[in-house]
Amino acid sequence: MTEQMPALTLEGRVDGTFVVETAAVESTERPELVLTYAGIVGDRHEGLVRPSNAREPWYPRGTPMRNERQLSIVSAEELAEVAAALNLERILGQWVGANLVISGIPHLTQLPPRSLMMFPSGATLRIDGDNDPCRKTGKTIAAQHEGRSDLEFGFVKAAMGKRGLVGWVEREGAIRVGDAVRVRTWRQVAYPGQPLLST
Amino acid sequence: MTEQMPALTLEGRVDGTFVVETAAVESTERPELVLTYAGIVGDRHEGLVRPSNAREPWYPRGTPMRNERQLSIVSAEELAEVAAALNLERILGQWVGANLVISGIPHLTQLPPRSLMMFPSGATLRIDGDNDPCRKTGKTIAAQHEGRSDLEFGFVKAAMGKRGLVGWVEREGAIRVGDAVRVRTWRQVAYPGQPLLST
């Protein structure tokens, strides 16, 4: 027996667009992002190729590899849930180095790899998959809140499964604040070689 | 509740390596494939960018898009199952335009999008997802078997879920016949927005 789920189309909205300009985690708000096949023009993660890092322990660090992590995409609703769990008023997309904050897509972080995000300009992103929360981002949020050094580790725990997605540019174009976004998933099939677990 | 399956590592073997040289479906055997970020050197599907086609009905046909279909990867075991279902002695990887025939990976076509295939040279492929069988391939197989015009449609039906995968080059290198291949899947999560169906 194969467990499978049908393809799905969803609609959301772009609440914020941001560029990472420095080696720090944070991103800076912009009214518009210009996308080429290399990613966001002017973003620190722009490139067709990137050096591997601790996320790819199967490669020697610094190995050249195709850049599947051109953009970081987070959910407004998930960020609010993480903030609530940490007893914070809010967490801004900028603090977690997001390029896009999107609202209206339930469980954004669980969108399957290969999903498409289409924007009115014709720009399309293809989703590589979910992003894992890291201590560096926790530390950045802690630095915003005096007396809350607990946030460095607390963020990693609270943001598990809610840290958004990474992906790459499938079609060039622009993304603007206020844009509608159409998400298309593919039929999802549970790989039979792996047991189904409940969490 | 979230249905999820753990990451998995699998080992298989490269049984055949092929290049598509013409506009026809068929591929030609080669002892070695040389991979760059654009795909297989000399293959018809080589390119960082490709024009969209009938597989992407959401784009006007011919729209430039990043080429996520650089390689076609099929399973020796699945090809044998399709052949048996069609009462054929065998189906060669060449007939279906495969670039790689791999053995030893159960349910190859169901490997989740984002899976990695690593080869001894250091070459790595990232899987976009499963490939859908088409009539054009069925017709190519029918042309090999006199009196079996039924194979044009029969292949499409028999090969559903067994037509292999498409993907792109994450790390450059060579792939040779006889190579071991290590497959790494990611933790797979059922998107909660979609109902689980049994098939």
DSSP letters of B29-51? E-SEEEEETTEETT-TT--SEEE
B192: exposed, middle or buried (Cβ count in 10 Å: 0-12, 13-18, 19+): middle
Contact yes or no for B107 and A191 at CB 8 A: yes
Q: Calculate how close chain A gets to B14, using CA atoms only, in Å.
A: 20
Contact (CB, 8 A) for B198 and A5: no
Look at the block and give the residue holding tokens 């809140």.
A145
Chain A residues within 8 A of B188 when measuring between CB atoms? 190-191, 194
Q: For A104-126, what is each residue's pLDDT tens digit?
A: 999 999 999 999 999 999 999 99
Tens of pLDDT, residue by residue over B49-64, are: 999 999 999 999 999 9
| C-alpha atoms less than 13 angstroms from C-alpha of A1 in its C-beta half-sphere | 7
Chain B neighbors of A116, CB-CB under 8 A? 58
The verdict on A55 touching B (C-beta cutoff 8 Å) is: no
Give B 5-34 residues with CB within 8 A of chain A. 5-6, 8, 10
Q: Shortest Cα distance from B151 to chain A (angstroms)?
A: 26
Return the closest-CA partner of residue B4 out of B182, B186, B195. Answer: B186
B188 touching A, CB under 8 A? Answer: yes
For residue A193, pLDDT over 90 is answered with: no
Cβ atoms within 10 Å, residue B157: 12
pLDDT of A194: 54
Residues 6+ apart with CB under 8 A from A6: A187, B194, B195, B197
Structure tokens that stand for B91 in this block: 């189906």
pLDDT at B117: 98
- Which contiguous run of DSSP H or E holds residue B81? helix B76-85
Q: Do A184 and B6 touch (CB under 8 A)?
A: no
How confident is residue B192, by pLDDT bands cut at 50, 70 and 90?
Answer: confident
pLDDT of residue A28: 96
Helix axes B151-158, B135-143, angle to 10 degrees: 130
Task: Give yes or no for residue A197 having a pLDDT over 80.
Answer: no
ipTM field: 0.94
**Alpha-carbon gap, residue B151 to B158, rounded angstroms:** 9
CB distance from A57 to chain B under 8 Å? no
Q: Does B81 touch chain A (CB under 8 A)?
A: no
User: At A5, is the pLDDT very low, low, confident or very high (cuts 50, 70, 90)?
Assistant: confident
Whether A195 shows a pLDDT value over 90: the answer reads no
B194: pLDDT strictly greater than 70 = no
**Predicted confidence (pLDDT) per residue in B129-153, tens digit:** 999 999 999 999 999 999 999 999 9
**Using CB atoms and an 8 Å cut-off, which of residues 88-107 of chain A contact chain B?**
106-107
Q: Where do the domains of chain B lie, and which CATH numbers do they carry?
A: 7-186 (2.40.33.20)
How high is the pLDDT of residue B1?
31
Mean local confidence (pLDDT), B76-102: 97
**Using 50, 70 and 90 to split pLDDT, how confident is the model at A1?**
very low
